[in-house]
Amino acid sequence: MTITGKVALVTGAGQGIGRGIALRLAKDGADVAIDDINGKTLVAVAKEIDALGRRATTFVADVSDRAQVYAAVDHAEKQLGGFDIMVNNAGIAQVQAISNVTPDEVDRIFKINVQGVLWGIQAAAKKFKALSHKGKIINASSIAGHDGFALLGIYSATKFAVRALTQAAARELACDGITVNAYSPGVVGTDMWVEIDKRMAEVTGAEIGATYKKYVQGIALGRAETPEDVAALVSYLAGPDSDYMTGQAPLIDGGMVYR
């Protein structure tokens, strides 16, 4: 069973995991609206989607702004003629000791990682109901949403919050035929982990690359994760084979955290 003919919106799709998800959904038959705060990166991803024979449309948005998220959903529906799948992927990392984190740092990461997901859930649910059909909402959690990690405490808190929102929204929206799930990646070889490794080096005094290497060595399957690994799970959550699954945040980490 496929998602051919469905319309998806992927936030934070200009690079990394978001790009991987957008391309996988397109390969599986969906037309994809891609949004990111960086419009330049979106152009290249849209061209890749076009090359796969699917329609793409771009929208520049800051997910911490509720109005912009609603506008992105409206744009997706108007440009692609429908709306079926919402992937709340956009997020940022933060490396900081709990004892040193500042109010501004807390505000910024919660606005993007938590409120951004909340606004996406709201906007997608409203659109699905207006179109009088079921829908799929898929949120970005993390292994840090299952285990709290040292120096990633506030980031972990945001990803635990995403799991809570996912569970609560799943219960509230089930009567409308809307499923809400999340995906929980581990150490993915993207720019985000380059930045995490750099910040870890600054905070701990470790050499550049040492933190990344340490975490990868702890993966049972013996390699770092790729965006394509994550995208495969998201594609399943977006498709009909997961219709009886809701409120879950499965780990896709190669064997790091076990539940």
CATH of residue 11: 3.40.50.720
Task: With respect to residue 217, please indicate whether it lies within any of the assigned structural domains.
Answer: no
List the end-to-end C-alpha distance of the chain, in Å, as a whole number. 28
Q: What's the average model confidence in pLDDT over 231-249?
A: 98
How confident is the model at residue 43, as a pLDDT? 96
How confident is the model at residue 194, as a pLDDT? 86
Confidence band, pLDDT 50/70/90 cuts, at residue 193: confident
Task: With respect to residue 198, please indicate whether it lies within any of the assigned structural domains.
Answer: no
What percent of the chain is modeled with pLDDT above 70? Answer: 100
Output phi, psi for 143, to 5 deg: -60, -25
Contact between residue 259 and residue 251 where contact means Cβ atoms under 8 Å apart? yes
Q: For residue 211, count other CB atoms closer than 10 A to its CB.
A: 22
How confident is the model at residue 1, as a pLDDT? 55
Q: What's the average model confidence in pLDDT over 72-99?
A: 97
Q: What's the average model confidence in pLDDT over 20-43?
A: 97
Q: From residue 21, how far is each of 32, 149, 190, 202, 237 by CA, in Å?
A: 10, 25, 13, 31, 11
Task: With respect to residue 75, please indicate whether it lies within any of the assigned structural domains.
Answer: yes
Residue with tokens 């429908």: 82
- Select which of 70, 155, 212, 236 is catalytic: 155
155 is catalytic: yes
How confident is the model at residue 115, as a pLDDT? 98
Task: With respect to residue 236, please indicate whether it lies within any of the assigned structural domains.
Answer: yes
Task: With respect to residue 132, please indicate whether it lies within any of the assigned structural domains.
Answer: yes
Task: With respect to residue 119, please indicate whether it lies within any of the assigned structural domains.
Answer: yes
Q: What is the Cα–Cα distance from 206 to 201, expressed in whole angstroms?
A: 5
User: How many domains in the chain?
Assistant: 1
What percent of the chain is modeled with pLDDT above 90? Answer: 95
Q: Does pLDDT of 20 surpass 90?
A: yes
Task: With respect to residue 204, please indicate whether it lies within any of the assigned structural domains.
Answer: no
Task: With respect to residue 220, please indicate whether it lies within any of the assigned structural domains.
Answer: no
How confident is the model at residue 2, as a pLDDT? 85
Q: What is the Cα–Cα distance from 25 to 39, expressed in whole angstroms?
A: 20
Instruction: List, for residues 148-186, the tens digit of each pLDDT value.
Output: 999 999 999 999 999 999 999 999 999 999 999 999 999
- The pTM of the full predicted model, rounded to 2 decimals, is 0.97
How confident is the model at residue 191, as a pLDDT? 86
Write down the mean pLDDT value for the chain.
Answer: 97
Q: Does pLDDT of 71 surpass 60?
A: yes
Closest CA to 197 of 216, 184, 210: 210
Please provide the DSSP assignment of 49-68 as one string.
Answer: HHHTT--EEEEE--TTSHHH
Least confident of 56-70, 132-146, 153-167, 204-218: 204-218
Domain that holds residue 247: 7-187+226-252
Please provide the DSSP assignment of 119-139 as one string.
Answer: HHHHHHHHHHHHTTS-EEEEE
